[in-house]
Amino acid sequence: MKSIVVFLFLNMRSFVLLLSLLFVGCTNYGQLEYVAKLPKSLKESSGVEVISGSIIWSINDSGNEPVLIGLNNQGKEIRQLWIENAKNTDWEDLTKDDEGNLYIGDFGNNGNDRKDLTIYKVFQPEGISTASTTAEKITFYFPEQKDFPPKKSKRFYDVEAFFYASGNLYLFTRNRSTKFDGTTFCYRIPAEAGHHKATRLGSYPVCTKSNRCQVTSAAISPSRKQVVLLTHDSVWILSGYQGDDFLRGNIMQLPLEHFSQKEAVCFETENTLLITDEKDHTTGRNLYRFTLD
């Protein structure tokens, strides 16, 4: 009797596994290559970055613990690194510099009422053997914002996207205004400790559909010749720019042909992106790869 029960149990496990594989295989991910289901610890993945290629780093957004989560190339959690002197008010993106340091953007600002916009610099996390560390703190403000919050038609100061380049951090705003026209503003601040005034460099109207056109993450390629902006169903490729005038070069939309709450993007190689989305009912909490043609 015991052998029959074991046989049925093993066959039931095989059946469930087969169903899950068939489900993944039949799901339409558009132009995205499905890589893996993210661990349950990353239900709200809002940033992703690769430093050396051995670890994929990610974070959760508002209300979660101040912890960096490291994944292997199959999307399995392999480590956690707690940031002792940080608070996750609304972590929204990750980026790296040329020395292997990570920057955590705690600048989510849905209500446009925050006065504590912060970026945490974590020094060379892949060289840390302990379970926790401390971070250097960078704070900034937008000189154009006078009211906290401003009128609903003037709520331009949410940020969910940034990247590092040549000693600076470049931020792209997520438009929260009632008169939504898809405009994102690009700002620059120094990538160093202190309290900085953000300098506005330019703007671009991504599109007019508020549920599809809000910029949720950004990244710059290893060659510094391409920038990507992520929305829920597209990536926007910026190229041909001069210096850091990123929004005055060539801008092209690449539809992903897949809609979900995509919140994080990074360059895996010069022409390959890693993208994650948040869990939303029965969809999301996935790691994808997207190749730029």
Say which CATH number the domain at 182 has: 2.120.10.30
Say if residues 50 and 289 touch (Cβ distance below 8 Å): no
For tokens 């446009």, the residue is: 112
Say if residue 17 is in the same domain as residue 96.
Answer: no
The model's pTM = 0.91
Cα–Cα dist 161/171, whole Å: 6
pLDDT digits (tens, 9 = 90+) for 202-259: 999 999 988 899 999 999 999 999 999 999 999 999 999 999 999 999 999 999 999 9
Which tokens sit at 290?
């997207």
Say if residue 58 is in the same domain as residue 8.
Answer: no
Say if residue 78 is in the same domain as residue 205.
Answer: yes
pLDDT digits (tens, 9 = 90+) for 141-184: 999 999 999 999 999 999 999 999 999 999 999 999 998 999 99
Say if residue 58 is in the same domain as residue 2.
Answer: no
Query: 21 by DSSP, 3-state: which?
Result: helix
Q: How far is CA 285 from the centre of its chain?
A: 13
Range of the domain at 2: 1-29
Say if residue 83 is in the same domain as residue 59.
Answer: yes
Say if residues 108 and 62 touch (Cβ distance below 8 Å): yes
Say if residue 81 is in the same domain as residue 21.
Answer: no
pLDDT at position 66 is 98
pLDDT at position 239 is 98
Domain count for the chain, please give it: 2
Rg (CA), the chain: 20
Say if residue 8 is in the same domain as residue 69.
Answer: no
Say if residue 20 is in the same domain as residue 106.
Answer: no
Say if residue 38 is in the same domain as residue 1.
Answer: no
